[in-house]
Chain A
Amino acid sequence: MKKLIIAIALSGIAVATYAQDNYFTRNGKAAFFSSTPIEDIKAINEGVVTVLNVTNGNIEVSMLNKSFQFKKALMQEHFNENYMESNTYPKSAFKGTVSMEEVELKKPGKYDVTVAGDLTIHGETKKIQVPGTIEVKGENLIANTVFKVVPEEYGIKIPGTVRNNIAEEIEVTIDLTLQPLVQ
């Protein structure tokens, strides 16, 4: 993805002409929430990087697993060392498309979109399709989606002793304020 951004940033005239095609953020927010009768677990990552091409709808989202912050230090440690194995899999990422044909870029407002593509967590990639919204607000696009993830589907092993502490499905919320990417 970095090569994509470098190519865009350095491609001179093409970028100047189509400068409004690409939107970017380096501090998008990803939060996940697990609720069980035993305990609630919540973590937030405010360093999500995203590039969205509004012409063809291509989107790339990525984040560093070690940047997820938990209230409890021990939970954060377990998340990185035991579940995500962040030293081996530093990032979680999504690459796909957003149905931008539903969005009128010149008309402020909130639009329903569909997001489809490959979600990669813990080295495993799965195809997902989820609803989302894009809000046109001034120069920015505010993107939002909420979806569920089953940890086991991404090879995340949760020991039997704590299995009841963690929900079967984890709720993931993505909030991105995207700005036009200009040189």
Chain B
Amino acid sequence: MKTKHILVIVAMLMIFAVGFAYWQYNKPHRDASSEKAAFSMTAPELYNAFEADENAALIKYGSQLIEVTGTIKQSTAGDDSKTMILLASEHPLFGIKTMFQTPVINPPAVGEQVVIRGFCSGINGDVELTRSTIMNVKK
């Protein structure tokens, strides 16, 4: 009987292992709209943090979900690809580049204030946020 018990346990462990592997392989991407934002700040504040100390900012903000409030400087938010909203910082050219997986319906216009959440990849000219979502549009 002991052998039978062991076989049942082994079978259950194998089913569990296969199930776990399947779940891991198919696990969904992190979701900016449902996950809790690790940080909430203005676009200039986020940009300045990276400007001041890129290495420290990467450690603090890298891969984190960040909620940013800012003014839209440039937008291709309604486009099928390269869907992006650039939020202004104090820098003349660079800011917070928020990138979207799908086009934004009724995208807000340049000049409007928005709250956007995205996952921080680091800084490359702009500070980049990916898999972004617009939380609300402030008028």
A interface, CB within 8 angstroms of B: 1-2, 5-6, 9-10, 26-27, 29, 46-47, 49, 62-67, 69, 72-74, 76, 80, 87, 90-91, 183
How would you classify the secondary structure of chain A's contact residues: helix, strand, loop or mixed? Answer: mixed
B121 at the interface (CB under 8 A from A): yes
B136 at the interface (CB under 8 A from A): no
A62: B residues at CB distance < 8 A? 124-125
Q: Would A66 and B25 be within 8 Å (CB), given that A26-B97, A46-B99 are in contact?
A: no
A90: B residues at CB distance < 8 A? 58, 62, 121-122
Q: In chain B between 66 and 101, which residues have their CB closer than 8 angstroms to a CB of chain A? A: 76, 81-84, 86, 92-94, 97, 99, 101
Cα distance A67–B130 in the bound complex, in angstroms: 6
A9: B residues at CB distance < 8 A? 92-93
Q: Shortest beta-carbon distance, A179 to chain B, in Å? A: 11
- The chain B residue sitting closest to A48, CB to CB, is B124
Are the C-beta atoms of A73 and B29 separated by less than 8 Å? yes
Are the C-beta atoms of A76 and B29 separated by less than 8 Å? yes
Cα distance A90–B126 in the bound complex, in angstroms: 14
B30 at the interface (CB under 8 A from A): yes
Are the C-beta atoms of A74 and B27 separated by less than 8 Å? yes
Give the number of A-B contacts (CB < 8 Å): 82
Cα distance A5–B27 in the bound complex, in angstroms: 40
Q: Assuming A26-B125, A64-B124, what are 6 further A-B pairs, CB within 8 angstroms?
A: A29-B82, A47-B97, A47-B121, A66-B130, A73-B27, A91-B124
- The chain A residue sitting closest to B76, CB to CB, is A27
Are the C-beta atoms of B27 and A64 separated by less than 8 Å? no
Are the C-beta atoms of A69 and B126 separated by less than 8 Å? no
Q: Shortest beta-carbon distance, A40 to chain B, in Å? A: 15
Q: Would A26 and B81 be within 8 Å (CB), given that A47-B99, A67-B121, A73-B27 are in contact?
A: no
Q: Which size bracket describes the interface of B in this complex?
A: 20 to 34
Cα distance A115–B19 in the bound complex, in angstroms: 48
A74: B residues at CB distance < 8 A? 24-27
Mark B6-35 against chain A: 1 for CB-CB distance below 8 A, else 0.
000000000000000000111111100000
Are the C-beta atoms of A63 and B124 separated by less than 8 Å? yes
Q: Would A5 and B125 be within 8 Å (CB), given that A73-B29, A76-B29, A87-B62 are in contact?
A: yes
Q: Shortest beta-carbon distance, B21 to chain A, in Å? A: 10
Cα distance A51–B27 in the bound complex, in angstroms: 37
A63: B residues at CB distance < 8 A? 124
Q: Would A47 and B122 be within 8 Å (CB), given that A9-B92, A26-B86, A90-B58 are in contact?
A: no
Cα distance A73–B122 in the bound complex, in angstroms: 19
A1: B residues at CB distance < 8 A? 125
Cβ contact of B125, chosen from A2, A29, A66, A87, cutoff 8 A: A2
A73: B residues at CB distance < 8 A? 27-30
Q: Please indicate which of the listed interface residues A26, A62, A69 has the most CB atoms of chain B within 10 Å of its own CB.
A: A26
B24: A residues at CB distance < 8 A? 74
Q: Shortest beta-carbon distance, A146 to chain B, in Å? A: 18
B25: A residues at CB distance < 8 A? 72, 74
